[in-house]
Amino acid sequence: MTLLRHHLQAPAALRNLPSQVAAIRDAQRAIRGCDPQTLRAHTSQLRTFVQQGATVASPKVLALGGAIVCEAVDQVLGKSLYDVQLIAGIILAHGAVAEMQTGEGKTLSGVMPAVLHALPGRGVHVATPNSYLAQRDFETLQPVIEHLGLTAGCLGDDAEHGERADAYQCDITYAPGYAFGFDYLRDQLALRSAAGSRLGDQLRQRLRGAAGETRLLQRERRCAILDEIDHVLIDDAISPLILSAAGDREAPDAAIHRAAKQIAATLVPATHFTIPEDRGGLELRPAGIDAIYRESTLANDPRLRRAWHEYVHLAIRATHQFQRDVHYIVSAGKIRIIDTSTGRIFDDRTWNDGQHQAIEAKEGLRITSEQTALARITRQRFFGMYEVLCGMTGTATGCADELQEFYRLSVVPVPLRVPSRRQTLPTIRCRTAEEKRQRIADEARQCQQRLQPVLIGTHSIADSQQLAERFEQQGLRFALLNGKQDADEAELIAAAGRAGAITIATNLAGRGTDIHLDPEAAAAGGLHVIVSQHHAIDRVDRQLVGRAARQGDPGSVRFYCAPDDPIFRQAPWIARWLERRLAPPRDDTPRSDSRLAQMIAKQQSINQRKQACQRRELFQRDLATQKLIVTPRTRNAQGIEK
Ligand SMILES: Nc1ncnc2c1ncn2[C@@H]1O[C@H](COP(=O)(O)OP(=O)(O)OP(=O)(O)O)[C@@H](O)[C@H]1O
pLDDT in tens, 10-44: 456 677 899 999 999 999 999 999 999 999 999 99
pLDDT in tens, 405-419: 888 899 999 999 989
The residue with greater pLDDT, 159 or 40, is 40
Confidence of residue 472 (pLDDT cuts 50, 70, 90): very high
Write down the mean pLDDT value for the chain: 86
How many angstroms is it from 380 CA to the middle of ligand 1?
29
pTM for this predicted structure:
0.84
CATH 3.40.50.720 fits 247-370, yes or no: no
How many angstroms is it from 420 CA to the middle of ligand 1?
14
Q: How far apart are CA 437 and CA 458, in angstroms?
A: 11
How many angstroms is it from 100 CA to the middle of ligand 1?
11
Q: What is the mean pLDDT of residues 349-377?
A: 89
Q: How far apart are CA 459 and CA 323, in angstroms?
A: 13
To which H or E segment does residue 424 belong? strand 421-424
* Cross-strand partners of 336: 329
The residue with greater pLDDT, 386 or 244, is 386
φ/ψ (deg, to 5) at 640: -105, 135
CATH number of 427-591: 3.40.50.300
195 with 207: CB under 8 angstroms? no
pLDDT more than 90, % of the chain: 56
The residue with greater pLDDT, 291 or 172, is 172
What pLDDT, on a 0 to 100 scale, did the predictor assign at position 642? Answer: 44
Residue 367: is its pLDDT beyond 90?
A: yes
Residues with Cβ within 8 Å of residue 541, at least 6 apart in sequence: 531, 534, 535, 559, 604
Q: How far apart are CA 208 and CA 501, in angstroms?
A: 53
How many angstroms is it from 551 CA to the middle of ligand 1?
7
Q: Return the residue whose CA atom lies nearest to atom 1 of ligand 1.
A: 81
CATH number of 17-241+385-413: 3.40.50.300
What pLDDT, on a 0 to 100 scale, did the predictor assign at position 250? Answer: 85
Q: How far apart are CA 517 and CA 293, in angstroms?
A: 62
Query: Which residues form ligand 1's pocket by a CB distance below 6 Å?
Result: 79-82, 85, 100, 102-108, 394, 511-512, 514, 546, 550-551
φ/ψ (deg, to 5) at 81: -65, 135
First to last CA, the chain: 27
Residue 213: is its pLDDT beyond 70?
A: no
455 with 493: CB under 8 angstroms? no
What pLDDT, on a 0 to 100 scale, did the predictor assign at position 11? Answer: 58
Burial class (CB in 10 A: 0-12, 13-18, 19+), 200: exposed
What is the residue extent of each domain of the chain?
A: 17-241+385-413, 247-370, 427-591
The residue with greater pLDDT, 260 or 488, is 260
Of ligand 1's listed atoms, the one at least distance from the Cα of 393 is 25
Q: Return the residue whose CA atom lies nearest to atom 27 of ligand 1.
A: 512
Q: Could you report the predicted ipTM of this complex, rounded to two decimals?
A: 0.97
How many angstroms is it from 226 CA to the middle of ligand 1?
16
Q: How far apart are CA 379 and CA 236, in angstroms?
A: 8
Among 545, 550, 557, name the best residue to mutate to test ligand 1's pocket (greatest count of ligand atoms within 8 A of Cβ).
Answer: 550
Q: Which of 111-115, 171-175, 337-341 has the lowest mean pLDDT?
A: 337-341
What pLDDT, on a 0 to 100 scale, did the predictor assign at position 12? Answer: 67
Q: Which of 36-50, 95-109, 196-210, 335-349 has the lowest mean pLDDT?
A: 196-210
What pLDDT, on a 0 to 100 scale, did the predictor assign at position 353? Answer: 85
Q: Name the binding residues.
A: 85, 103-107, 514
Confidence of residue 638 (pLDDT cuts 50, 70, 90): very low
Comparing 17-241+385-413 with 427-591, is the CATH topology the same?
A: yes
Q: Which of 11-20, 170-179, 421-430 has the lowest mean pLDDT?
A: 11-20
